[in-house]
Each structure stands twice: as structure tokens, then as C-alpha cells.
Amino acid sequence: MTKPILLDAPNLGELEKKYLIECIDSTFVSSVGKNIDIFENKFAQYLKAKRAVSTQSGTAAIHLALYELGIGPGDEVIVPVITFIATVNPIKYVGATPVFADVDPETWNIDPKEIENHITERTKAIIPVHLYGNPCDMDKIMEISKKYNIPVIEDATESLGATYKGQFTGTFGELNAFSFNGNKIMTTGGGGMIVTNDENKADHLKFLVNQARDSSKGYYHPEIGFNYRMTNLEASLGLAQFERLPEFLSKKRKFAEIYKEGFKNNDKIIFQKSYAGAESSYWLTSIKIESNKSIPEIQEELKEKGIPTRRVFMPIVEFPPYKEYKKEEYKNAYEIYEKGLNLPGSTVNNYEQVEYI
């Protein structure tokens, strides 16, 4: 192979340089600048949502969503036991209690039956995670939300461009979070976004991210706010990446096709499946491997062949701050962790490299 295979590196080029140089030349590189509003508006239009509010990260977006819904001490929030830690930490930021649910063995996403089994009178939110870009069963989750009057906050940080029955992920819940970290489908370097159809909540969130400053009175702050603003520099990079989003999604989906074709006769390789009517963004194509070798052993052999991989997320209840919340076996999650592997998905890679993998 002439160039290295990359796991999840960002795809940056001349368009990004152009937008960034224009931003630098304008001198509006911080939290004032036209590109922030332009980026938010284009993002909302793409998703067919009413509003998008930019943040400093996907973590900040989840934190603000919980805060805006008034969730705090004594409240419970149901989350999948397999996800990135950033889904769960914000629950602790607001003083609430995470309640972990097992995942579906085929899609690896939170099992709606398990959500319902964990609802109590203290449940104040459900956070489904579209793991690795693969949409959750949003029909059943929204039915549960309506039945018990519990709001949904979608963690769509890995699933930009994914759809469930024709509707984009990150548009089903009351407040929904996206991430533009360097390894995501598109990047602003850091950065995130809250998407909602509630205009009043969007206005208040926009106010909160800027230290809750009432600029009509100068530096006047009528409530506690956050320094969670996206910069104009980041938004400029986001606008360039956003123009290329169709290219990125098309390439990731083609990678998934190549992987599936390559392994179609191998019964030891089991792909993360999608629900009927769901189309993954394939942030990372993910598999389970039935083997006598451990995942670290397999990773080491692949590394020697120039193929970087990543283990599936460890169940959150294995981490010291969350061990006390382990209330059951989470059989499906642990099996996925023991056998799961993420394959290279960076759009810097080419199709020949994926064939090689």
C-alpha cells in the first residue's frame, strides 16, 4: 500500500483552507462572525428541522439539552450501557442518575423493551444513541416517550446523515445532539450542535451558550450561563465540510458495501445490522468476530499488516465512576464488547485500501 490506511482521520483540503483563510482575513475568528449563523441555518435546513444551535462539543450539546429540560438531582436518565462516555458524563454534570439499559444483540442499539423495563417515576429523559451511525428503533422509542410523557434526547453525534424511515436521526427527540469532533463524519475541529423544533428552547439555548448575556444591557447576566459557543473559525471549517458531506456519506456507505461483499461468505464475521427502514451513516463499519483469538490479538495481527482498528466501546459500568450503577448482567453489551471491532472508515482512504482490508 502506497499510503497509510487511516481509521477515522478527517478529510481536509483546499476548500477548507479557503474558508479558513477568508475567516482569518475578516479578523472575526472568535464567537462573533457571520458564519456561525449561516452554519446553524444550513444545518437545520438540511435536517428539515426548525432550529440548530451550535456548541463547543457534542458533550456540551447533551449537557445543555439536559439542563434546558430542567433535569437534576433525584432524576433518572435512561441510556444504553454501550456508548462513548460523553453520552453519560453530562447526566452527572446536572446531578442526575444514569440508568443503564442493555442493547439489542443485532443492531447494538438500546433495546426499546429494556427502556420500558427501566422506567420509574423518577425517569425524566431517555437518551438513545445511534451507535456508529446506525439508527435506533425510533418508532418504538417515540411510542414509549409518548406513553410515559418522557422526553427523548437523541445522541446523534455519530449519525449525521443517517435516516430512519426517511427522517434524519437527530430530529425525532425534543432536543438532539451532534458532534463535529475531528474523527466524526464532518468536523469543525471541535464543536457540536443542538437540533430542535422548539423555537423557544432554541432561543434560550442560544442565550445560555453565550454566558446567558443580555447584551441590550451590556455585560448583564440574568441567569447562570455557559461558555459553550462555537467560534466563527470553527463554523467556517464546518461550512466547507458541510459542502462535502454528500461525498463523505457516499464514500462511507460504499466502504460498507465493499466490506459486506468481501465477507459475504464468511460466517465468522457478523455485521452490525440495521432496523427495517433505517439507513446508517456508517461512521464506522462494525463487526463481531467469532474466533478463538481475542480481539486484541486480532487487532495486533491487523496492525502488522498496516490496518488500524478500534475495539467496540467498553460497557460504561466497567469504569470506576459508574461501577455503582451496574445493576444487571447486560449480556448483549458484554458479548458485543468481547467480539466487536470497528473497521477503518476515514474518507481519506480509497476503495482499493478497503478491498485490501
Same domain, 100 and 196: yes
Domain boundary among 187, 208, 243: 243
Please tell me the pTM assigned to this model. 0.97
pLDDT-derived band at 5, boundaries 50, 70, 90: very high
Q: Which helix (H) or strand (E) holds 286?
A: strand 286-289
Same domain, 46 and 156: yes
Give per-residue pLDDT as tens, 76-105: 999 999 999 999 999 999 999 999 999 999
Mean predicted confidence (pLDDT) in 51-64: 98
Same domain, 229 and 280: no
Same domain, 22 and 136: yes
Phi and psi at residue 286, in whole multiples of 5°?
-130, 145
Q: Contact at 8 Å (CB) between 310 and 288? A: no
Cell numbers linked to 142: 417515540
Is the confidence at residue 349, as pLDDT, over 90? yes
Q: What is the pLDDT of residue 1?
A: 52
Give per-residue pLDDT as tens, 252-302: 999 999 999 999 999 999 999 999 999 999 999 999 999 999 999 999 999
When the pLDDT of each residue in the chain is averaged and rounded to a whole number, the result is 97
308/1 Cα distance (integer angstroms): 13
Domain enclosing residue 42, as ranges: 14-243
Active site residue 184: yes
Average the pLDDT over each of 37-41, 157-161, 171-175, 216-220 and give the range with the smallest value: 216-220
Same domain, 172 and 215: yes
Q: Which helix (H) or strand (E) holds 73?
A: none
- We report the CATH number of the domain holding residue 225 as 3.40.640.10
What's the domain count of the chain?
2
Mean predicted confidence (pLDDT) in 135-142: 98
Q: What is the pLDDT of residue 2?
A: 77
Q: Contact at 8 Å (CB) between 293 and 341? A: no
C-alpha to C-alpha distances, 156 to 168, 221, 256, nearest whole angstrom: 10, 31, 19
Active-site choice (17, 165, 184, 251): 184
Hunting for cell 445493576 — which residue is that?
A: 327
Is the confidence at residue 35, as pLDDT, over 80? yes
C-alpha to C-alpha distances, 310 to 216, 258, 296, nearest whole angstrom: 49, 19, 9
Domain boundary among 224, 243, 262: 243
277/159 Cα distance (integer angstroms): 15
Paired sense of beta strands 192-196 and 51-55, if any: antiparallel
Give per-residue pLDDT as tens, 150-182: 999 999 999 999 999 999 999 999 999 999 999
Give domain status of residue 5, yes or no: no
Same domain, 170 and 300: no
State percent of the chain over pLDDT 90.
Answer: 98
Burial class (CB in 10 A: 0-12, 13-18, 19+), 206: middle
Paired sense of beta strands 163-164 and 269-271, if any: unpaired
Same domain, 221 and 297: no
Domain boundary among 243, 261, 289: 243
Same domain, 164 and 304: no
Hunting for cell 463524519 — which residue is that?
A: 185
Same domain, 250 and 234: no
Same domain, 322 and 173: no
